[in-house]
Every structure is written in C-alpha cells, then in structure tokens.
Structure 1
Amino acid sequence: MVPLGTPRAQSAQHLPEIHTELARLRAIVAAALDEELHALVDLRASLLNGCAFCVDLHTDAALKAGVSAQRVTLVAAWREAGDHFTEIERAVLEVVDALTRLGENGLADEVYARAADHLSEREMVALITAVGLINLYNRLGVGTALTPPVR
C-alpha cells in the first residue's frame, strides 16, 4: 500500500507521448476558437474540476489573452456576473458547465442551440473538443496531485 502523502506518478514523466498528442489536439482547437473564448473555456472547466494547477495556468493564459482581471475572477460566478460577459461568452460558458458536469442530461439541445446561434459548426466542434480536452487535462492534474508553482 502506498503511504498517504507519497508523491504520485506524473504522466509527463512516464508517458510523455500523451502530452505530445494532447498538445497537438490543443493546437487544432486553438486554431478554430477565439483565443479569449478558449481561455474562458479552460479556466471555467478547471475551476469546476478543482484543478489548482490548471486554474493557475489558465488564469495566467486568460490575462495574457487580454481578459481583464475582473472578468477572470468573475468566471467562477459567471451566471451572476450580469453584463460582464457577452451573450456568446455566456452561451459558451453554459456549454462548458453542461459538458463538465454531464449528469443525466448531458448537453441539452437548448444549451447547444444558444451557443450554435453564435458559432459556426466548425467552432461548435472545436468548443466541444476544447471542453473534453481541458477536462482530461484537469483529471490528469488532479489525479497526479499537480500543484501550481509558487511565484
């Protein structure tokens, strides 16, 4: 039995090819989605999944993509944030919530339709893939107990 507190095996060390392939998929998605929107997707899913490493990483990425510090903070409570998020951002964040917290209903038709009103079919596929991808990254981070660096 592994004692509690023992460092966990790291996927990047033992299966680096996983991260190579994930990076390739991420590049495809990044080419199809607006950078700020993609940053909000990654940050929201990471917050929902409680992946501290990814929250830290994607907070920094969102700020670098031009998302204001206030909006970065409000991603955690986007539904209550009023006009701080555009109609498209709210529709996309709703998709993130639905696909990250799948539950019994999955991605409801009306949630899909609200996002599809603003995005092309290509962008919708990229969005759905982006949510799936960040959820996998979050599970790798949480499962291997990654922690953010101290700055």
Structure 2
Amino acid sequence: MSSGHPTSTEQRLAIQSVAPEAYAPMLAMEKYIHAGAMGEDLLALVKLRASQLNGCAYCLDMHAREARAAGVDQRRLDVLAGWHEAPDLYSEREQAALALTEAVTLIGEDGVPDDVWVPATYSFSDQELVRLLMAISAINVWNRLAIATHQDLPELDAAAYVGTGTPSAS
C-alpha cells in the first residue's frame, strides 16, 4: 500500500538541509530576540506557551528543556497551559507576556484586544515590546514549519529518563 509518500509520523522535509539559506533570516531573528534583556526564562515561557497552543511537539520538547535550563521551576512548566488559573505562580510581567503570546498566536480569533495590549505596555518598554512581538512571531513561524514538515524530535539519552517518564536533572 506504499505510495512512496511518507506516513503521517515520518519527517516530510528537512528544510535546513534542503535550503539552509531559508533558515538564515530566522536564525538572525533568534539572535536579535536573545540579544536583549528579556531573560531566557521569560522567552522560554513565551515559546512554550505558543507551542502548546499550536500543538508543536518538536518545539514543546525543545522549549521545555530550555526553560528548565534557564531555571524555570518544573511546577510552573507543568501549570503553564492553565496559567490563568494560577496567577501566583507567574509575575505580572510574565502574565502580560503570556496574555500577549496567546492573543498574537490566536490573532484570527479576537485580534489583540486592549485588555491584553495595555498591561503589556505597562510591563514592557517599547523596545522590549518589539522584541517580545518578534519572539512571539518567530515561535509561531517555527511551530508552523515543524508541524508542516513533521519535524522529528531529537534523540534523547534513554539513561536520562531513569524510568520516570521524564528527563532526570542531570
């Protein structure tokens, strides 16, 4: 029954291998995003939340590991999808960033309403808002590329899982 087409679980296309020049602008964007003072912990939360909304397994895996490496507490990662219900776990700045992430990621639903935009302007300078918007935009592009191509998850050292179903802290 093979039609020569990949199954739904096989990676369809390796964009970086086929057209590395297509990755160059995205990598430059990432360099800009991470060169600012946003903080790797906040950027990881933003990227992880957008990836949750978009259902991107590759990016969920990557950004959860980045968040842990940036010192984000595992409990905050576990609760991130329901952050609205646990505001005490997230700073006002993080809440503003997460709300903006959701609004921009789901922009076709309601745009970016004032009740999301205004708190973001209180929590971030104009320069930081630009960087935050670029981070949100970039992760949405990465999610779409990874989902469209069924980007393979990276191989992980099985010993790191120590039978717990989650990577160990090592």
Residues 78-97 of structure 1 correspond to what in structure 2 (within 5 A)?
A: 78-97=83-102
Q: 2:85 and 2:109 mapped to 1: Cα distance?
A: 24
Question: Offset at 1:45?
Answer: 0.5
Task: Spell out, residue by residue over 1:83-116, the C-alpha distance to the aligned partner (whole angstroms, 9 max, x if none).
Answer: 0111111111000000001124211122111011
Give the corresponding residue for 1:107. Answer: 112
> Equivalent of 1:144, from 135, 140, 149?
149
Give the corresponding residue for 2:166. Answer: none
Instruction: Please provide the CA RMSD for this pair.
Output: 1.5
Q: 2:24 and 2:122 mapped to 1: Cα distance?
A: 33
Question: Offset at 1:4?
Answer: 5.4
Matched, 1:43 2:48: yes
Structure 1 outlier segments of 4+, above 2 Å: 1-4
Closer, same or farther: CA 2–122 of 1 in aligned 2, 3 Å: farther
Give the corresponding residue for 2:133. Answer: 128
The SS at the match of 1:107 is coil
Question: Offset at 1:20?
Answer: 2.2
The answer for unaligned runs of 5 or more in structure 1 is none
Identity of aligned pairs, percent?
36
Question: Offset at 1:147?
Answer: 2.9
Task: Spell out, residue by residue over 1:23-51, the C-alpha distance to the aligned partner (whole angstroms, 9 max, x if none).
Answer: 11111111222221111111100111111
Give the corresponding residue for 2:5. Answer: 3
Question: Larger radius of gyration, structure 1 or 2?
Answer: 2
> Equivalent of 1:73, from 74, 78, 91?
78
Matched, 1:12 2:25: no
Closer, same or farther: CA 147–80 of 1 in aligned 2, 3 Å: farther
| 2:112 maps to amino acid | L
Task: Spell out, residue by residue over 1:63-102, the C-alpha distance to the aligned partner (whole angstroms, 9 max, x if none).
Answer: 1111011111111111112301111111110000000011
Corresponding pairs, count: 151
The SS at the match of 2:110 is coil
Residues 45, 67 of structure 2: 8 Å contact kept: yes
User: TM-score with structure 2 length normalisation?
Assistant: 0.83
The SS at the match of 2:76 is helix
Q: 2:11 and 2:60 mapped to 1: Cα distance?
A: 21
| 1:43 maps to amino acid | L
